[in-house]
Amino acid sequence: MTRSCPPLDTLSALADDALTPGIREDVLAHVSACPCCSAKLEDLRALRAAFGSLPPTPLGTDLATVLLPRLIATAHTPDEMPRPPARGPVTRLAGWKDFLRAILVPSAASAAALGLGLQLGAILLAPPTPQPVAQPVMLSAMSLFGSMPPGNLCPRPDACNPTGNPQ
């Protein structure tokens, strides 16, 4: 099958003799030169013959007597065709509502999202605020921290109290 091959529904219409004479001649000319399309057309003709050989199935009801009165009752002439309901008078305000809905609202939402994104980005990229500098600790305050943790047993009297007096 090539790009110039007709579609399958065209070949099916050829098998059913449903093509106009001009198109029929063009498709037959292609089918005579293309072995792929020729084989498909033969398959479609064999399928049509197989369906044609099936016995007719009788229906229990004649549908024409049921459907034909309904179709005639609901048929409309072109003058009687139902028309879509008329919309109210067009005002200038209706145009603005459409403008607001279609343009302004999405634009405002986009601007708000962009503004919040820039604000959060600026917060994240801002230099950290300087912390107050701690005052130097006096050496006498550091004397509270001895070599022995509180509650520990002294191995010898001069280890816990440098004066030698046990506590």
Residue 48 lies in a domain: yes
Total domain count, the chain: 1
Q: How far apart are CA 75 and CA 166, in angstroms?
A: 121
Residue 49 lies in a domain: yes
Domain that holds residue 28: 1-53
Residue 114 lies in a domain: no
Q: Tens-of-pLDDT digits for all 167 residues of the chain?
A: 566 899 999 999 999 888 999 999 999 999 999 999 999 999 999 999 998 899 988 878 888 888 888 888 877 666 666 666 666 555 555 667 777 788 888 899 999 999 999 999 998 888 887 777 766 656 555 556 666 666 666 667 666 666 544 44
Residue 24 lies in a domain: yes
Q: Is 86 helix (H, G, I), strand (E, B) or coil?
A: coil
Residue 6 lies in a domain: yes
**Can you say how many angstroms the Cα of residue 159 is from the centroid of all Cα atoms in its chain?**
78
Query: Which pTM does this prediction carry?
Result: 0.37
